[in-house]
Amino acid sequence: MSEVTVIRRILHCDMDCFYAAVHIRDDPSLAGKPVVIGGNPEGRGVVAAASYEARRFGIRSALPAARAVRLCPQAVFIRPDFNRYREESEYIVEIFRDFTPIVQKVSIDEAYLDVTEQLEPWGSATAAAQEIKRRVRQERGLTVSVGVGPNRLVAKIASDFDKPDGLTVVKPARVQAFLDVLSVRTLPGVGPASERRLKQSGIETIADLRAVPMDRLEMLFGKHGQWLYNCARGIDERPVRTHRERKSLSCERTYAEDLQRLEEMDQELERMAERVSRGLKKRELSAQTVTIKVRFGDFTTLTRSHTLPSPTHDEQVMVTWAYRLLRKTEAGRRSVRLLGLGAGNLVHGEASQLELF
């Protein structure tokens, strides 16, 4: 008996300008204005998000707020309210779960839905996507762009194809035609550096990429070459998972004034270690790796890591190694703009008791 191949129906739902949209919904006087979510433009804040009106001036996330105000002096700056965004995100995910139990939330404003076995009563993935858009607009006063495709890769690209408030459906027979005309930068994982390397080899579109043999791509990009080879053909076997295994837990802070002395940096690391340790214990996780992140006053950023002999969630172990790692940098001789502490290579279960030295 021949095996029947099931064609998956995957939706990628991506909220439009989520942070800014929440504020604009709650304050209609902001509608049509360039709204920027971020830190104080008179200080050292950065842009967390921008409305479409603000983006027309070249304002993007991670841009220094002072630069954003020079690009658009009339911009309305609003400080982020992440608790508000997280709460809104949960309401929206509950709408998604009315359509399928297989929902993978990949960030605060986007999720994958597998509706392959959940098409009733809508009849098709397209109809389900239309109903999702209607409910999000009606119940939450927000818009969501949805991509529909036979896998996560295609659905993700499709959701960005017609923003804002878009719906793009790519049927299996049209996958290659849909992809071929797009820029290689459209592919997940292709950033500015990869795009430059591809263009240097004469590869600008996905059709160009499809013409390159896998061994050539592996020579250029290592293991990532196989991913690019499959992407160019619309191949993506990754399932939609209902939960993600957490790989790390971290916190970081950017300072209004640079830190100068090691003692004050140590105090910051102590606070971070306490917070990370508390987060690990709450989730019943232990970490095998301790990492610090340091950004100096000139924006040079580096990380230092240490692998422990056995996993732990002990605050004192983490802070002791954070002290040591910090002293492997030029902190104390150079001013520090940002500090971060992370716990990685997480495992489930109780922490082991470790010798500090």
What tokens appear for 28 in the block? 């209609």
Which member of 88, 110, 268, 315 is catalytic?
Answer: 110
Q: Return the closest-CA partner of residue 313 out of 341, 340, 273.
A: 273
Q: Check if 139 is active-site.
A: no
Instruction: Please give the torsion angle defined by the CA atoms of residues 86, 90, 91 and 92, in that order, rounded to the nearest 10 degrees.
Output: 100
> From the CA atom positions of the chain, what is the Rg in Å?
23
What number of CA atoms fall less than 13 Å from residue 117's CA on the CB side? 5
Phi then psi for 259, rounded to 5 degrees?
-80, 140
The residue ranges of DSSP E strands in the chain, in sequence order, are: 10-15, 35-38, 47-50, 76-78, 103-107, 110-114, 144-149, 167-169, 248-259, 285-296, 301-312, 336-348
Place of tokens 């409910």: 135
Residue 76 bridge partners (DSSP): 35
SS3 content of the chain, % helix, strand, coil (to 5): 40, 25, 35
Give every CB contact of residue 49 below 8 A, 6+ residues apart in sequence.
17, 18, 19, 20, 36, 37, 38, 61, 80
> 214-228 burial, b for 16+ CB within 10 Å, e for fewer?
eeebeebbeeebebb
> 108-118 burial, b for 16+ CB within 10 Å, e for fewer?
bbbbbbbbbeb
**231, burial (CB in 10 Å: exposed 0-12, middle 13-18, buried 19+):** buried
Give the catalytic positions in this structure: 110
